Amino acid sequence: MDYFLYLTQMCGIFMILAMGLNLINGLCGQFSLGHAGFWAVGAYTGAAFSVFTNLPLPGFIILLIACLLGFITAAIAGLIIGIPCLRLRGDYLAIATLGFGEIIRIIFMNMDSVGGPRGFTDIPKLSNLFWVYFFVVLSIIFCANLIRGGYGRAIISIREDEIAAESMGIQTFKYKTLAFCIGAGMAGLAGVLFAHTTQFISPNNFTFMWSVIILLMIILGGLGSISGAIIGAVILTLLPELLRLLGPTVSEWRMVIYSVLLILLMLAKPTGILGKKEITFSFGKKEKA
Amino acid sequence: MLNYPFLGVLLASLLFFSCNKEEAATRKTNSSDQPAATTKAKSDDVIRVGAVFAMTGPIATYGQESVNGINLALKKINAESIKGKRIELIVEDNKGEPAESANAVRKLIDIDKVDVILGAVASSNTLAGAPIAQNQKVPLITPASTNEKVTQTGDFISRTCFTDNFQGVVMAKFAASTLQKKNAAIIIDNASDYSKGLASVFKDEFKKLGGTIIDQNFTYTQKDTDFRSLLRRVKRANPDVIFLPGYYTEVGLMLKQAKQMGINTPFLGGDGWDSPKLQELAGPEGVKGNYISSHFSADDKDEKVQAFVKDYVDNFGAKPGAMAALGHDGMLVLADALKRAENFNAESIKMAINSTKGFVGVTGSITIDENRNARKSAVVLETKPSGMSFKQKVSP
Amino acid sequence: MSEEFVFFLYDIATYLLNGITQGSIYALIALGYTMVYGIIKLINFAHGEFYMIGAFIGFYLITSGMPFVPALLIAMIGSGLVAVLIEWIVYRPIRSAGRISALITALGTSLFFQYAGQRVLGADPKAFPQAIKVKTYQIGEIYITNTQIIIFVSTILLMIFLWWLVNKTKIGKAMRATSFDMKAAQLMGINTNQIISFTFFVGAAFAGAAGVLVGLYYNTVEPMMGMIPGLKAFVAAVLGGIGIIPGAVIGGLVLGIAENLVVGLWVSTYRDAIAFAILILILLFKPAGILGENKKEKV
């Protein structure tokens, strides 16, 4: 079933996106609304690489190089945006990142070499279920280790209390920028996988609404929790599609039902499904991140 | 925290799972060269047609009008039957977004097991869905996407409307020869491939005919509502005709604002203007004295057209726009192809669609050419407060 | 003065005029954002939808034959009441759960109104009836319509009313107290729940007024119309310094004028990009908005 296979892949891609944003927003406490912008940078870089260079290499090697390039360019974009913007706080930062996300989208809209508003077509189908989940697992391992290490502690301390962290000698700006770049890079990686899964990307895939939906994923799952981000990504990717399957009447009203379910979920579990907890697989024991 | 053995197991099982899937996918593709009836087990008396249109979102009017037109055609088709079969229509919403269009096409093919797909309107939506239909070998007919690239996806993708190349040439000739204009300004909707495509064709053709194009960047973006500052700049450039290939939602507002700012230069546009809403949005003053190219005219005295208009008004209580007529004709072309097809497998349905010759619908005579584009005539309409009035018919 | 220069001045005047008209609309919507934010620190993403609801109430009333001014007032009250209802059903239960959860419910509410609006009211744009006949006045090369004048005048009147409400009335004092310190206000005997509802009411009523005025100005209403002005008004509110009432007005006007100058004098292709770039630049120099004071929060 291509449809379910595809949805499973989309779940994986959104898991990576959500984990990236979770690093910025959930762990470091920096409110970013420009995640779709980094997603777009990765998607366009990766697609441009595999379409324009056309190297005589096996598909998966091209995909890996594209992923690396997507990660790096998105991280650089994160750096360029992060250095000026991360001085801002709270909602001001949110607006600035939102602005950058839109600027990135408008730039792609006006680049005719990658299709402009029509979109980038004929991208080879290099990604598959294995590679998507390979990177999901890699991201999980990476994030879990990051949290446990010294860098992670420093990043979390910024979320908990920036001034206290600074007075303890933590270079808050450095760690904020670091978290921002890695998060952006992960979005870029997800973008490369996305482009090579759908084989078509257009600037309309990366609107501000998508930044919001990725934010919804991590909040719904539980802000700051890796497993929460994963659960949130799965729920919000599958929900609109599952509603499609419930017959024509539901299908017509599916976006209305979707929004009502969202509100009800939030009212029932305001801290998200998992809160800050992690699901661990050492049975019976639950630890706080 | 997470433990690594578990992840190892997860990864290994995924690898196994995905390899199996890939294999299955290849097997499926290989086998579909032969009649692919085995994979599509279902009741024998229906042919399933999927429709992917924007039922919600910014361009929902086009989608809803198209589906109305399709339903109207369907009623006629199902009144008799096609070789003992009835057509069942399954409509999927794509919200006017490319990614959602791809989802919808996948769902229709895999879950509903449709035999043919109709859709979508906006070219970027069709472009997102077309590769999937092509890979899965399900014929897809777009009734309204005019961008050149759409049918280049492959042999399973065809359209029943003309392309932007043809439309742009028609309007450039009309401006240069019929209206005798020399100096044109072009205002482009920057977020639309449709608008950009039409503009570049118009530009080349108008220059070829001896006119000049004002070399300034006049652009706006879909969903804008205020065009006064842009129009001010256009006015200062002093054109004697303005080409505005856009959609009626913005065009209507722009025409109204242009009149309020004292611009009396005629505007020319494409089929994106063609909606009964244009008159309401632009007002009687704004709409006067402009010309568009389109697919059909509700004023056309042709019997077939008048019967369609009457039927549409009876069913939906409003006059049909171009999208309704296109949707209607798309469905009829499909039904005609199904009647001619040897059997109902994908390959023969595709062959039948691609060999459509001289099918007469409400939007004119439709012949599908070797590039799977419809060769058909366009009409030039004058926009008037009372509606669009027929000006001339241009054959390819 | 050369003729070319005179024309240039006319151009600038036209762009400013259009900018102020658009800016007034942004400002009216931004006021609601900023008032709600000032009092409960919630970015009410559903605010743009109150603007849409106001526009639709106005649309149906005027279509049924009501004159413009009463339709405007009823639309204001109507969208205010919807906001109070939403606050009561959705935001109040979640208020204690923290800002982020409230933000998500606001987003959910916004999506709900957009999609339910499309299902119930129809997705197509509807032509707003001409409640007031449009007249164009020409001064030299400047064209100004009576609808533009109506927008200026209504905006100014509404702002004077708001200033009076916040600064000169008892309920205004209670609003200011609640915004300053909610717990302390509660201890002083202020029914803060009531004050919050009232703030929602006033904010949404202003957005509703903006909706009707826009309907009159552009002659079109549709269920998705709240999305982009809502976003721009949010930007305007932050630009001026969120939580500060005069800041919303300044932010709205700056954004409106900047957009129109960019379109008029520069390239319209990158209008939104340039508008956002200007916004980011301003924030870099004034990190808390134009009127905001940059203070580091203490532990």
Query: Which residue ranges make up each domain of chain C?
Result: 28-226
What is the rounded average pLDDT of the residues A99-118? 88
Contact A236, A213 (CB under 8 A): yes
Ramachandran area for residue B178 (φ above 0: left; ψ -120 to 50: alpha; else beta):
alpha
Give the angle subtended at the CA of B116 by the CAs of B113 and B117, to the nearest 5°.
100
pLDDT value of position B60: 80
Q: Give tens-digit pLDDT for C163-180.
A: 999 999 999 999 999 988
Please state, in angstroms and rounded to a whole number, the distance separating the CA atoms of residues B159 and B373.
Answer: 5
Please state, in angstroms and rounded to a whole number, the distance separating the CA atoms of residues C242 and C227.
Answer: 19
Please state, in angstroms and rounded to a whole number, the distance separating the CA atoms of residues B7 and B12.
Answer: 8
Cα Rg of chain A, angstroms:
19
Please state, in angstroms and rounded to a whole number, the distance separating the CA atoms of residues A276 and C286.
Answer: 34
Please state, in angstroms and rounded to a whole number, the distance separating the CA atoms of residues A3 and A10.
Answer: 10
C7 — pLDDT class (breaks 50, 70, 90):
confident
ipTM of the prediction: 0.82
End-to-end Cα spacing for chain B: 69
Please state, in angstroms and rounded to a whole number, the distance separating the CA atoms of residues A75 and A80.
Answer: 9
Please state, in angstroms and rounded to a whole number, the distance separating the CA atoms of residues B189 and C69.
Answer: 36
Q: Given a cut of 80, is residue A225 above it in pLDDT? A: yes
A106–C108: do the CB atoms touch at under 8 Å?
A: no
Contact A80/C at CB under 8 A: no
Show residues of chain C in contact with A95, CB under 8 Å: 234-235, 238-239, 279, 283
pLDDT value of position A48: 94
What is the rounded average pLDDT of the residues C263-292? 81
Q: Given a cut of 60, is residue B31 above it in pLDDT? A: no
For residue B290, give both structure tokens. 């402009």
According to DSSP, residue C64 is labeled T
What is the rounded average pLDDT of the residues B30-36? 38
A170-174, B4-8, B39-43, range with greatest mean pLDDT: A170-174
**Helical ranges in chain A per DSSP H:** 2-21, 35-48, 59-85, 90-109, 129-148, 150-160, 162-167, 172-198, 208-221, 226-244, 248-252, 254-268
B1 — pLDDT class (breaks 50, 70, 90):
very low
Give the type of residue at B157: I
For residue A279, give both structure tokens. 């699901």
pLDDT value of position C275: 78
pLDDT value of position B35: 39
The pTM of the full predicted model, rounded to 2 decimals, is: 0.82
pLDDT value of position B13: 52
Show residues of chain C in contact with B249, CB under 8 Å: 125, 220
Calculate how close chain B gets to A89, using CA atoms only, in Å. 31
Lowest mean pLDDT among C27-31, C164-168, C225-229: C225-229
Lowest mean pLDDT among B249-258, B333-342, C82-91, C265-274: C265-274
Calculate how close chain B gets to C110, using CA atoms only, in Å. 14
Calculate how close chain C gets to B339, using CA atoms only, in Å. 36
pLDDT value of position A284: 40
What is the rounded average pLDDT of the residues A223-243? 90
For residue A272, give both structure tokens. 């998200």
Q: Given a cut of 90, is residue A220 above it in pLDDT? A: no
Q: Chain A to chain B, count of Cβ pairs less than 8 Å apart? A: 124
Q: Give tens-digit pLDDT for C40-89.
A: 888 888 999 999 999 999 999 999 989 999 999 999 999 999 999 999 99
Q: Given a cut of 90, is residue B221 above it in pLDDT? A: no
Contact C111/B at CB under 8 A: no
C107–A262: do the CB atoms touch at under 8 Å?
A: yes
Lowest mean pLDDT among A259-268, B143-152, C23-32, C270-279: C270-279
pLDDT value of position C193: 92
What structural domains does chain B harbor? 41-162+302-376 (3.40.50.2300), 165-294 (3.40.50.2300)
pLDDT value of position B19: 44
Are β-strands B374-375 and B387-394 bridged in parallel, bridged antiparallel, or unpaired? unpaired
Taking the alpha carbons of C113, A245, B51, A44 in that order, is the dihedral positive or negative? positive
Q: Given a cut of 70, is residue B95 above it in pLDDT? A: yes
Chains with ≥3 CB–CB distances under 8 Å to A: B, C
Lowest mean pLDDT among A269-283, B114-128, C102-116, C280-294: A269-283
Q: Given a cut of 60, is residue A105 above it in pLDDT? A: yes
What is the rounded average pLDDT of the residues A115-134? 87
A20 — pLDDT class (breaks 50, 70, 90):
very high
Cα Rg of chain C, angstroms:
20
Minimal Cβ distance to C287: which of A87, A102, A212: A87
| A288 DSSP β-pair partners | A277
B334 — pLDDT class (breaks 50, 70, 90):
very high
Q: Give tens-digit pLDDT for B6-19.
A: 455 455 455 444 44
3-class SS at B387? strand
Q: Give tens-digit pLDDT for A26-40.
A: 899 888 889 999 999
Residue with tokens 């860098």: A151
A248–B97: do the CB atoms touch at under 8 Å?
A: no
pLDDT > 70: what percent of chain C?
A: 97
Contact A168/C at CB under 8 A: no
Minimal Cβ distance to B277: which of C124, C224, C260: C124
Residues 6+ apart with CB under 8 A from A144: A226, B1, B2
Contact A104, A77 (CB under 8 A): yes
A96–C280: do the CB atoms touch at under 8 Å?
A: yes
Minimal Cβ distance to C238: which of A92, A219, A259: A92
pLDDT value of position A162: 85
Q: Given a cut of 80, is residue C239 above it in pLDDT? A: yes
Q: Give tens-digit pLDDT for B259-296.
A: 888 899 999 999 888 887 888 888 888 888 899 999 88
Q: Where are the beta strands (DSSP E) in chain C?
A: 126-127, 136-139, 142-145, 220-221
Contact A76/B at CB under 8 A: no
B20 vs C96, residue with greater confidence? C96
C102 — pLDDT class (breaks 50, 70, 90):
confident
C98–A85: do the CB atoms touch at under 8 Å?
A: no
Q: Give tens-digit pLDDT for B360-391.
A: 999 988 999 999 999 888 889 999 888 888 88
pLDDT value of position B43: 58
Q: Given a cut of 90, is residue A134 above it in pLDDT? A: yes
Average confidence score pLDDT of chain C: 88
Chains with ≥3 CB–CB distances under 8 Å to B: A, C
Average confidence score pLDDT of chain B: 85
Cis peptide before A43 (omega within 30 of 0): no
Q: Given a cut of 50, is residue B332 above it in pLDDT? A: yes
Contact C237, C43 (CB under 8 A): no
CA proximity to B136, closest of A199, C297, C76, C63: A199
For residue B80, give both structure tokens. 């008799």
End-to-end Cα spacing for chain A: 37
Q: Give tens-digit pLDDT for C142-162.
A: 888 899 999 999 999 999 999
pLDDT > 90: what percent of chain B?
A: 43
pLDDT value of position A147: 87
pLDDT value of position C1: 60
Q: Give tens-digit pLDDT for A254-274.
A: 888 888 988 888 888 888 888
Lowest mean pLDDT among A46-55, A146-155, A240-249, B307-316: A240-249
B196–A116: do the CB atoms touch at under 8 Å?
A: yes
Residue with tokens 């879909």: B222
B5 — pLDDT class (breaks 50, 70, 90):
very low
pLDDT value of position B59: 77
Q: Given a cut of 60, is residue C279 above it in pLDDT? A: yes
pLDDT value of position B34: 37
Q: Which helix (H) or strand (E) holds B157?
A: strand B157-159
Q: What residues 143-182 of chain B have any CB closer than 8 A to a CB of chain A?
A: 147, 149, 153
What is the rounded average pLDDT of the residues B139-161? 92
C288 — pLDDT class (breaks 50, 70, 90):
confident
Taking the alpha carbons of A108, B221, B121, A250 in that order, is the dihedral positive or negative? positive
